[in-house]
Each structure stands twice: as structure tokens, then as C-alpha cells.
Amino acid sequence: MIKIDPIQLARLGSLPIKARVIVEGALSGMHRASVHGSSVEFAEHKEYSPGDELRHVDWKAYAKVDRYYVKQFEQESQLVVYLVLDASASMSFAGGGLRKLEYGGYLLAALAHLVINQQDKVGLVACGDRKLETVVPPRARTNHLHDLLGVLDALIAKGGGGDESIAAALQRIAEMTRRRRALIVIASDLFDAEDQTLEAIAQLRAQRHDVSVLHVLDPHERTFPYDGLTQFESLETSHKLLVNPVAIKKDYLERMEAFLARCSTQLAAAGVDYHLAMTDQPLETTLLELLVARSRLGPGRRAS
């Protein structure tokens, strides 16, 4: 597998190219793609009984064994994937590498590329600014990929804004997908003052959606490498804090680790596929981890 530094990747051309590079980088590390090209797969034969649809009778089998068998399939519909990007202001933080928004956006673009290639439907929901919510409905056409990536590119270029929790966006997705299960991939730092995000994710899972969370964090947020008198300013609010970082580093790190442990534990308990994605980690590595984890979940957990 070729690993590309996220910063180097950001210098590549348009988003479609970046998405393709990420996908190819990720797939080159796999012996066999765990994602198949069709969304309708043969599962087994069943002896015909009255009431079965005639169009599913396997005539070739009848010719061989002179008995009626009916084909049964695992999934009878297209995979619908919702990509949820947290575009709040907190995602604009960059400790020295990519902004979290960029990192999450590139990952979702790569996923969109993969899904369209599989001829499945993919949509995009971006949240953060209450007034300017971006929703791209799921489609499976190739042109749709360009539209989606264009929207995504615009979001990344614009940068994060607002302080809306993704919990609200997730609730809207839940309403949109009420009658059909979907794969929902969330890229967010999960910073939520009201702590509703984890509950909303768990609720999606409770509706039998397949949920994957890419928890995007900057390395500075985990190591807190600051010293000297520093004034920290909030990205989402007007809060400021003048402090000697050394004095509070220990306490901060303890709180951060407790937060990560809480996210991991609660989401795992809810059956959510959770991945911690540090922005200094190669994007294809993160993508590959996601794909491998999803393949390990098996067909039963794949979205119907």
C-alpha cells in the first residue's frame, strides 16, 4: 500500500482526483476487495412451493434435475450510503497539518467514489451552520458523484462555521431513511456541548441503520503541546481563556482521554463502527481500516 502524507495529498488537484488517489491507495493494500460490484447477490436454492414468484425459478436447474427450484437472494435493493460531514467551526482547527474538516471531507469523498463505482446510492449531509444546511440526496449515477464532490469541495473550501451539533442532522437523516435502512458514515470531532451526538448516533443504530463513525481529531488536541502564557479562543463561541498550558495540561489530557474512552465505549455498546482518525494519519490508512472493519462485520451487518 502506498501511503501518502495528508498534507501532500491536499496539494493534489481537484477533489475527485484526491478521492480516487485515496481509494486506489487503499485498495492497493487489499488482496481482494471486500466490497462487491453488485448489490443483488445469489444466496441459495429453495424447492419451489406454490406462491413463489415464477421469475425466480431456476430453469437451468430444472433442465438438469427435472425439479423446480427457486433462487433466493440476500439483498434485493441498492445500498444507500449517507455521508455526514460535521462542518461546524470546531472542525476548522488545524494544529499544524490538515484541518479536521479537510481530513474528514477527503475521507468521505473517497467513500463516495467507492460507492458510486459499486453503483450504489450515495448522499451527503453537512451540518454545522444552522442556516446553511447542505443536503445532497442519494443517487447512483456517475454524474451524481461529480455533483456530490463539488458540494463537498465547496464545503471544504469555505471552511467550518457555526456551532450546530450534528445530532440535529442525524435526526433529519433518520427521518429521511425511515422506510429503508442505510449505511451512514459520520465524519466529526464529536465535540458537543450538550452531549447529544452520541445519543443520536445510538438512535440511528437502534433504527437498524448501519453506522460508522470517523472520529476526526487533531494530534494537538490529544497531546496539548503548548507552553508559555497562552490565550485560547474558542472556534465556535466567543469564549477566551488566558492560561499557562503547562499548569492545566495534565488535567486536560485526562479529560480528553476520558472523552475518547466514553465515545468508544458508548458507540461500541450501541453497535456502531467507531474509528479514531487523527489528521496526521495517512488518509488511505484510515479508509482501509474502515473498509477492513466493515468487511469483518460480514454480510449481515452490511446495510440492506
**Residues at the site binding other proteins, with contacts judged by CB under 8 A:** 90-93, 100, 189, 191, 193, 218, 221, 226, 228-237, 239, 241-244, 247-248, 251-252, 255-256, 259
Q: Which is nearer to other proteins, 202 or 256 (CB)?
A: 256
Minimum gap (Å) between residue 227 Cβ and other proteins: 9
Answer yes or no: are the C-beta atoms of 116 and 140 closer than 8 Å.
yes
How far apart are the two ends of the chain, measured CA to CA in Å? 30
Instruction: Please state the closest distance from residue 11 (CB atom) to other proteins, in A.
Output: 23
Cβ proximity to other proteins, 253 vs 292, nearer residue: 253
Radius of gyration of the chain (CA): 22
The residue among 176 and 260 lying less far from other proteins, judged by its C-beta, is 260
Closer to other proteins by Cβ: residue 48 or 252: 252
**All residues at 6 or more sequence positions from 203 whose CB lies less than 8 Å from its CB, including other chains:** 170, 171, 174
Smallest separation, CB 51 to other proteins (Å): 58
Distance of closest approach, residue 270 Cβ to other proteins, in angstroms: 23
Helix 15-28 crosses helix 142-158 at what angle (to 10 degrees)? 110
Q: Which is nearer to other proteins, 92 or 286 (CB)?
A: 92
The least distance separating other proteins from the CB of residue 249, rounded to whole angstroms, comes to: 9
Rounded CA gap, 126 and 163, in Å?
12
Q: How far is the CB of 183 from other proteins (least distance, A)?
A: 27
Report the C-alpha gap between 236 and 170 in whole angstroms. 20
- Of the pair 91, 198, the CB lying nearest other proteins is at 91
Q: Which residues of 236-273 are buried (b: 16+ CB within 10 A; e: fewer)?
A: beeeeeeeeeeeebeeeeeeeeeebeebbeebeebebb
CB-based contacts of 1, cutoff 8 Å, min separation 6: 25, 26, 28, 29, 284, 285, 288
Asked if 277 contacts 214 with a C-beta cutoff of 8 angstroms, the reply is yes
According to DSSP, the residues that pair with 81 across neighbouring strands are 122, 183
The three-state secondary structure class of 164 is coil
User: Residue 57 or residue 256: which is nearer to other proteins going by CB?
Assistant: 256
Cα-flanking dihedrals φ and ψ of residue 27, to 5°?
A: -70, -30
Shortest distance, position 196 Cβ to other proteins, whole Å: 14
